[in-house]
Amino acid sequence: MSQTAASLREQFPLLAAAPELHYLDSAATAQIHRAALDAVLHHETTSRANVMRGTYRLAEAADRAYGAARQSVARFLNADSADEIVFTSGATAALNLVAHAFGATLRPGDRVLLSVAEHHSNFVPWQMLRDRCGIELALIPVDADGRLDLAHLPELMGSRCRLVAVTQCSNVTGAWTDVAAIVAAARKAGARVLLDGAQAVQHGPQDVQALDVDFYAFSGHKCFGPGGVGVLWGRAEVLAQMPPFHGGGGMIVEVTLQATTWAEAPQRFEAGTPPIAQAVGLAAALEWMMTLDWAAIAEREDRLCRQLIDGLSRIPGLRLLGPLDGKRAPIVSFDMPGLHPHDICQVLDAGNVALRGGHHCAQPLLTALGVDVCTRASIALYNDEADVQALQDGLDHACRELA
Residues with catalytic annotation?
Answer: 361
Report the Cα 111 to chain-centroid distance in Å. 24
Where would I find the beta strands (DSSP E) of 220-373?
230-234, 252-255, 260-262, 319-321, 331-335, 353-354, 356-358
Under 8 Å between Cβ of 53 and 250: yes
Under 8 Å between Cβ of 156 and 138: yes
The sheet with strand 356-358 has its strands ordered as 319-321, 331-335, 374-378, 356-358
Q: β-strand 111-115 against 136-140: which pairing, if any?
A: parallel
Using alpha carbons, select from 54, 92, 53 the residue that is nearest to residue 251. 53
Under 8 Å between Cβ of 153 and 147: no
Residue 146: phi and psi, rounded to 5, are 85, 5
Report the Cα 256 to chain-centroid distance in Å. 39
Q: β-strand 374-378 against 356-358: which pairing, if any?
A: antiparallel
Report the Cα 59 to chain-centroid distance in Å. 31
Under 8 Å between Cβ of 399 and 356: no
